[in-house]
Each structure stands twice: as C-alpha cells, then as structure tokens.
Structure 1
Amino acid sequence: MSSVIISELPAMDATRFQQTPYYCEENVYLLCKTLCESGVADETGSDLFVVFISNERKQARMFGLCFVPLWHQKASTRADGIVLWDYHVICVQRKKESDSEPLVWDLDSTLPFPSPLASYVTETIQPSFQLFAEYKRFFRVVHAPLFFKHFASDRRHMKGPDGSWIAQPPPYQPIVAQDGVLHNLSEYTAMSATDTLSSLDPETVREAISQKLGVLVSHSQLQDLFTKLP
C-alpha cells in the first residue's frame, strides 16, 4: 500500500460522505465524485470502479426476498453483520502508478474505510460460504468515468404498487445520464452466468471495461480482474 493511501486511511470517515439508506447506487455515485473532487482519487475517476453485487435471482425489495448475503454490514442486527441484499454497490480504487492493493469503499460496511480488496473479499464476500447455485453472486465492474456519463435513476424501483416510497429518497434531484436517459439501473443489476467473462486475458478485459456496463465476473475472478485492468 502506498504511503499516500496509508496517510489517508486514519482520517477517512464514512459519515463525511452523502448517504441515504437503501440508495447504495446513488451513494456510490456521489462517493466517487467526492473522492475525485477531494484529490483522494484522480480528478476524472480513472482509478475508480463502481461494483454492483447481485445474482440471477435478484428480487425487488417490495417482495421481501433478498438473496445476496454480505457480512459486516451496518444494517445487520447480528453479531456477524450479515445482511441479505437484493443487490449492493461499492467502489474499488486501483492506483495505476502504484503497486498498492486495490481499496474498497463501502459506505454500508463496518470494516475499515477503505479496506484492502483482499480482506474485504474474505470478510464481506466470504467466498467459502456455500450458496445454492441460483444464488451465486456476480460482480459488475464499471469504470467510474463511464458510470458518471451513463448512469441514471429516477428511483422508480423504490416505489410500491401504490406509488408510495418503500424508503425515503435522497433530498437532491435524481441522477440523469449525460444523454438525457432518466433510468437504467436495471441494466446494471441484471446479471447472468452466461454473461461473465470467459477469459481474463488483458485484451479481453481491456475491451470489456471500455463498455458502458463494464465487466461481469464471478467472485473467483474478482481479485484477479483488478490485476488485469489496463
């Protein structure tokens, strides 16, 4: 880990960032913007990656069915901090000019903020935990500059059938894509095993990460992916 990042670690406090419960995709969007503006990340976000965590059986919150287990989450009432989300979103920072390990910024985690990717995977993802095949977790990794350009959410996914809010929305206006698109969150959370990268060779990774929706990988590929990114 570089000395620059080490000096930042003790001072970082998750409460300094804008956070609205149950709106993790917007929280991470603003988190990345703040990291860029504060100089912790590159001003364009070139060293930041937005990571959506979900699976093929993602269900809407309104049905009360959530199948993505993550540990050490603030929302948990258990000692191990486990929460079953329908999806979750985090930021991973990878410094190109450094040999330091990628860092995970998870506003909902009780782990150090940020945490090294390896320890975050071990403690939060817990890949050794046996899941039914249909609940296997996947990770959509999107380069932050592309996320800033394309992501949009009008928060429709947080409304019940009667139009009422499932959880109160953030106080600011919804995020609109640069091309005027109002909502495409479902494109980021839709995941299928058939769409995961079959190879992590550098050329395949380089081409995939340049796409709007980034790269879809399994938990066994996640850490290796960050060693292959251009």
Structure 2
Amino acid sequence: MSTVTSEIPAVEATQFQHTPYYCEENVYLLCKTLCENGVADATGSDLFVVFISNEKKQVPLWHQKASTRADGIVLWDYHVICVQRKKESDAEPLVWDLDSTLPFPSPLASYVNETIQPSFQLFAEYQRYFRIVHAPLFFKHFASDRRHMKEPDGSWIAQPPPYQPIVSQDGILHNLSEYNAMSGADSLSTMDPDTVGAAVSQKLGVVVSHTQLEELFTKLP
C-alpha cells in the first residue's frame, strides 16, 4: 500500500453538514469539523479553503453531484472546496469536495485531472482560477449573510441552511464577494517564497491558475 493511500482518512461525506448551493458555508463547517474530529490540526493549519471562479462567473467542473449528465459537468458561478496539506508528511494533498462524486477525500492530482480536466480545451473566458485561503484566516474573517441567495423580492433562490449566518470575528456580516471575485489579472506571476507565503498570511490568500494549483501546494511554507 502506498504512503498516499494509507494516509487517506476513512470519512463519509454524510458526516458533514451540507446545504445545496451554499458551498462556502459547507466548506467552512467541514473545515471546523475536520479540526474537531482530529483529521486535521486543531487550529486548521493544514487546511486551505479554495474558491474556484473567474471574471465571467462561469466555471465548468466535472463529476459534480448536481449535474444531470453522465460526465457530471456543471457550470458553476463559483465553487468552494477544502485542500488539506500536512507539512510533516510526504502524502499528497487531499481535496474535500462535498459536491463531488469522486472519492471523499481525493488526492489533489486525481481531483485536478478528473474535475478540472486541464487537457480539455476551453475558451479563455471559461478558464478556472483558484483563490487559496489559509483556514485559520478564513475562520477569522469570512462572513456571509446569504444576500447573494435572495431574489429582488426577498425570496430565497435556494433554501438556506438551518443554522445562523456566519459572522466574522470582527463583526462583518458579509464579504463573500471579496473571496469569489477573481480573474487572470489576479493570478500569481511568480512562485517565489515571499509571493507564495501570502497564501498563509493574507486574509484573501493568493489566486493561481489551474496550471499553478498543484505547484503551489508543493511550495507553501
């Protein structure tokens, strides 16, 4: 048995809170649970919240449960996943995606190959960008009052979670748009240590292209 396989925890997706179309809150709670049950470091230091979007707010992802197609493709406005990277281990980073039909969790390389499908030729406006935010910073700063899920008349686009909205530690009620706003102009131009280090020191982390995603997780401090 390989090192990577032996270190993949046996966890069922059904153990986690999941509300359809509220992926940012699902991942917030998933990370909290991983910290609490010992799968991740208690502070979340080995967890990263990853927002996937682009300027057009149309990102194709494969193997998604919400799809009606055999290949599982969905065109999301944005999506959010968790990537776990244990610094002291040689094991590959793991992707926790509650909306995926792939194994839960999945090794990062496998997830990229199956869900991002980088070999698939996309028009430039559909290229995916990834905002990588260190979980401890996400726990501190993220907030959503769910306003993005309301129609102009105040009705819900999709039924909200049963718990109270997430408020940041400094009392901010909503900043989701800061996290899911991204374009090619935001992506890293270099992978030097200082630039990559911003992923663990800045509130909004760093943005990378799909070709930089796996490399970033090999260079994080």
Cα deviation digits, residues 155-210 of structure 1 (max 9, x gap): 00000111100000000000000000000000000002111111011221113431
In structure 1, the gaps of 5 or more residues are: 59-66
Equivalences, count: 219
Q: How does 1:92-131 map to 2 (within 5 A)?
A: 92-131=83-122
2: CA distance, partners of 1:22 / 1:207: 29
Q: Which residue of 1 aligns with 2:145?
A: 154
Q: Which residue of 2 aligns with 1:5?
A: 7
Q: Which residue of 2 aligns with 1:19?
A: 18
Structure 1 runs, 4 residues or longer, greater than 2 Å off: 1-6
Alignment RMSD: 1.1
2: CA distance, partners of 1:152 / 1:207: 21
Letter in 2 for 1:31: L
Cα deviation digits, residues 43-100 of structure 1 (max 9, x gap): 0000000000000111xxxxxxxx2110011111111111110000000000010011
Q: Is 1:196 paired with 2:187?
A: yes
TM-score of the two chains, using structure 1 as the length reference: 0.93
Q: CA deviation at 1:130?
A: 1.5
Distance 1:167 1:37, change over 3 A: same
8 Å Cα contact 2:60/2:126 also seen in 1 = no
TM-score of the two chains, using structure 2 as the length reference: 0.96
Q: CA deviation at 1:4?
A: 6.2
Q: Which residue of 1 aligns with 2:37?
A: 38
Distance 1:198 1:155, change over 3 A: same
